[in-house]
Structures are given as C-alpha cells and as structure tokens.
Amino acid sequence: MPDDTTIVFGVPVPSTDPGFLAVVRFHILVGVTCVIAGLVAMLSRKRRGRHSTSGTLYYWCLAVLVASATGLSVVRWAENDHLFILGLLSLIAATVGRTALRQRWRHWIRVHITGMGLSYILMLTAFYVDNGKNLPLWSELPQIAFWLLPAAIGIPLIVRALVRHPLARRELTKS
C-alpha cells in the first residue's frame, strides 16, 4: 500500500489529509445509514409509519451523501467524475420518485417505485464501482460486474414490485 493511503473503516483512501479523511468518514457513515434506511423502507409495509419514515430518512441521507460525494469528487475529479454522475443520477431518481408520491402525479405509484428503486441501484453501483475491488468475494469479480450486478439484481425486483403492488396493479387495469 502506498504511503499516501489511509484505511478508513476498512476502505483504502488515497490520502493522509486529516480534513479529507474526516469528510470520508462522515461520507461512509451517512452511506451506511442511507443503505439501511432504504432497506427498511423497501421491506416495510407500504403505509404511513415505518415505510414513510425510513423513506424520508433515505432521501435526506442520500442528499447529504451526494453532497459529500460531490466534495470528494471535486478534489479528485479525474478519478471520481463517474461517482459524481452516479450520485447525481441517484438523487434525481429519488427526487422524481418522492415528488410523484407527494404530488400524486398520474401513475404516481409506478413512478415512485421506479424512481426510488433506481435511486438505490445507482447508489449501490457507485459504492461497488469505487470499493468492489477491496471487498471480500467482490474483489474476485471483473470491474464490469461492479457496474452491472446492482442493476441485474435490482431491476427485476423493481419489476416485481410494479407487478405485485396492489395500487400499481389497479393503475394497470385502469389504463
């Protein structure tokens, strides 16, 4: 490992700057919170309470995560521009999904499920593209797997939710 690399929560970070490392630590903690909140929202019954509280926490953690990723990307733009783009797309997808729900757009449930699901896929893709090479088991996979596996697993789950969710099914029969 090069002398200018620091291990933060098991992740090699190409810096020894204390300020940069503080942002990285914060970014990792917010990212873990975001992943957990998103999982709780996905696995909860779709009604007020746990689902909406976790979904709101996911959204705002994602906004903070993208903000910190933006700062980290700017510092190392040549190496991280793709992570900035993935983060931005993730936040846009979540914003579209959240807005569809809050404003009750036409077919809002399908837009909400799709937007939030794609947001989670894009967030995980950014994580795996950046860190997959350092993770047990993932380190054995080719780089292209880090880009494709989150979508290969997540898109069928989104389709399943669109087909099985009672409100989405009701919308399909109306169309």
Reading the block at residue 138, the tokens are 């993932």
Count of the separate structural domains present in the chain: 1
- Across the range 11-26, mean pLDDT stands at 81
Residue 99 lies in a domain: yes
- Any domain includes 1: no
| pLDDT attached to residue 23 | 87
Instruction: Give the lowest-confidence range in 6-10, 56-60, 108-112, 142-146.
Output: 6-10
Tokens of 124: 């995980």
The pLDDT value given to residue 16: 76
Which residues partner with 152 through β-bridges? none
Across the chain, what does the average pLDDT equal?
90
Please determine, for residue 1, whether its predicted confidence score (pLDDT) is greater than 60: no
On whether residue 89 sits in a domain, the answer given is yes
Is the pLDDT at 175 greater than 80, yes or no?
no
Contact 38, 51 (CB under 8 A): no
Contact criterion met (CB below 8 Å) for 145 and 159: no
Is a pLDDT exceeding 80 seen at residue 110?
Answer: yes
Distances (CA, A) of 126 to 109, 120, 121, 160, 173: 26, 10, 9, 23, 36
Looking at the domain assignment, is residue 42 inside a domain?
A: yes
Average of per-residue pLDDT across 148-169 = 92
Task: Name the residue range of residue 125's domain.
Answer: 6-174
Of all residues in the chain, the percent with pLDDT exceeding 70 is: 95
pLDDT at 172 (0 to 100): 63
Closest CA to 66 of 101, 36, 96, 92: 92
**In a domain? residue 121:** yes
- Indicate the SS3 state at residue 13: strand
